[in-house]
Amino acid sequence: MEYSSEQFRPDVALERFIEKMTVLRERTCEKIPYTTKDGVYDDNSTLAKEKSFGIGWWTNGFWAGMMWLLYHETGDSRYAEIARFSGEQLDVCFDNFYTLDHDVGFIYQPTAVADYRLTGSADGRRRGLHAATILAGRLNPAGGLIRAWNDWGDGRDTTGWAIIDCMMNLNLLYWASEELKDPRFRQVAMLHADTAMSAFVRPDGSVNHIVSFDPETGELLTSLGGQGYGEGSSWTRGQAWGLYGFALSFAHTKKQAYLDTAKRIAHYFISNIPEDGRIPVDFRAPSEPYYEDATAAAIASCGLLEIAEHVPQLEAAMYRTAAVKLLKTLDAQDCDYDPRTDGILRNCTAAYHDAVHEFHIVYGDYFYLEALLKLKGSDFKMW
């Protein structure tokens, strides 16, 4: 069953989102949230007495990212004030250094870079370029890959690991190249994207989450299941990262192979959307137990709408229809617009084998908002 835009009112969903945020932002103005407990946001900010994942956690840019998107949409300066607070707290990560890894794009593009692009902040530009330099420094020329994570201290050698998620972090490098008129950042990004095309994306459009390379030679060693069901499975958030990430790499470079890859992943994703539009954690997991991941639906919808901007009109309609189906389901089944509780998107899952599933995660809200704004035709591109 296909859903048309006439059956889903993204303008109404956006209204309800903003209505809740005008209340929620004041309860959260000195927090950097990741998830909720008993309907209340946790806090990863430096002001928190108890931190759940710490100031370097990879999701710490998404609250500010929502604030910048809403500032651009509404013109309300209060959103900018709250967003900038997050950006200032994140400076401690540069001082610590060890907390930063391949996810600096997720942390600093929706905070520092957004601040610079929307307000001309010199501090935002400095922070964004600092983060881009750190990310570029993670390139391993042997194999052309950006290393994922740092040492975990559990005995595993992760030196040669790379992950599909990093396709989204590459956008920080594209921005740095455009900002400085310096091709080296773009070249690092494209080396990684080229490696990801050949090593992560399977012929049918499904993707690996983690791929291990020999860090000395660049030889591909094996793929790992990561946050999905297992090796060879199809972790849906990874599918969404790849779908959106390759579409954005095309937008920045115009390399046709990136758009073709994004479309191949998109076709696989679309063909596996269940009738009810709710996305499981892994397309290849057993039917029981069933875990939903609403974040995968939100991210994929952004990617599908991005692809639609780069293809002919008739082809674009297919991608927009699939995105609207996902967003319609999120709005009807997974959104909590009650201003008395924190967070909006429910039924999010970080990893298949985690002990807890189907809870609120802040980046689900972020990408849901971004998708609604894309449908509306917003002229601001975060990535």
Tokens 């040492």, residue located: 151
Average pLDDT on 44-65 reads 86
Task: Please spell the DSSP secondary structure of 235-279, one letter per residue.
Answer: BHHHHHHHHHHHHHHHHHH--HHHHHHHHHHHHHHHHT--TT-PP
Residue 164 lies in a domain: yes
Residue 121 lies in a domain: yes
pLDDT digits over 36-50, tens only? 999 999 999 876 666
Q: What is the pLDDT of residue 4?
A: 44
Q: What is the pLDDT of residue 53?
A: 84
- Spatial contact of 111 and 88, defined as CB atoms under 8 Å apart: no
- Spatial contact of 265 and 242, defined as CB atoms under 8 Å apart: yes
Average pLDDT on 144-149 reads 98
pLDDT surpassing 60 at residue 219: yes
pLDDT surpassing 90 at residue 364: yes
Cα–Cα–Cα angle for 152, 243, 141, rounded to 5 degrees: 50
* Dihedral sign from CA coordinates of 140, 144, 149, 154: negative
Residue 383 lies in a domain: no
- Supply the range of the domain harboring residue 275: 5-376
Residue 381 lies in a domain: no
The CATH number that applies at residue 307 is: 1.50.10.10
338 is catalytic: no
Average pLDDT on 74-88 reads 97
103 is catalytic: yes
Residue 35 lies in a domain: yes
pLDDT digits over 167-183, tens only? 999 999 999 999 999 99
Selecting among 101, 103, 331, 342, the annotated active-site residue is 103
Residue 382 lies in a domain: no
Measure Cα distances from 82 to 36, 64, 115 in Å. Answer: 19, 7, 11
Q: What is the pLDDT of residue 51?
A: 65
H helix runs in 59-119, sequence order: 62-74, 77-89, 91-96, 104-108, 114-119
Residue 117 lies in a domain: yes
pTM: 0.96
In percent, the amount of the chain with pLDDT more than 90 equals 93
pLDDT digits over 3-39, tens only? 344 578 999 999 999 999 999 999 999 999 999 999 9
Domains contained in the chain, number: 1
Task: Please report which confidence band the pLDDT of residue 138 belongs to, taking 50, 70 and 90 as the band edges.
Answer: very high
Residue 365 lies in a domain: yes
Q: What is the pLDDT of residue 47?
A: 66
Average pLDDT on 112-119 reads 98
Q: What is the pLDDT of residue 260?
A: 98
Selecting among 42, 43, 115, 165, the annotated active-site residue is 165
pLDDT surpassing 90 at residue 240: yes
Q: CB neighbours (10 Å) of residue 373?
A: 22
